Amino acid sequence: MRTLNDYFLKGEIANLSAAASSFVVVPDGGRIIKITAMGRGTIATAPAVLSFEIGGVAVTGGGISFTHTSSVNGTTFSSEPTALNTVNSGDTIEMITTGASTNAVLAEVTFIIRR
């Protein structure tokens, strides 16, 4: 259940299949309570694994794996971080891909942050 204290922060990963980092700036403090990612195409060969960091520190329980056997355009995957998920205004959240899959696929990432 969402409360009035929750807000949504969106980010994009240009290519799930490339080992790279993308960043999003946090506008207001709180705790990341859920991360949802949606692929805009089909990956192949191996899963695309995402991890997230705040100030260089990994978000505990925040990792997401796009399975290559079931990822088609619009498929969503999510995680619910358990620790090291507190953000402050002006922080950046780093979205990291492993680059293990193939096919250039955009991913849209939504962070649900509770104030």
* Predicted confidence (pLDDT) per residue in 15-47, tens digit: 999 999 999 999 999 999 999 999 999 999 999
Provide the residue range defining the domain that includes 83. Answer: 18-107
**Number of domains composing the chain:** 1
Burial label for 109, CB within 10 Å (0-12, 13-18, 19+), is buried
* Mean pLDDT, the chain, whole residue set: 94
Residue 3 in any domain: the answer is no
Closest C-alpha among 90, 84, 17 to residue 56: 84
Find tokens 């694994």 and name the residue: 49
The pLDDT value given to residue 1: 66
Q: What is the pTM of this model?
A: 0.94
**CATH code: domain of residue 100:** 2.60.120.260
Predicted pLDDT of residue 3: 77
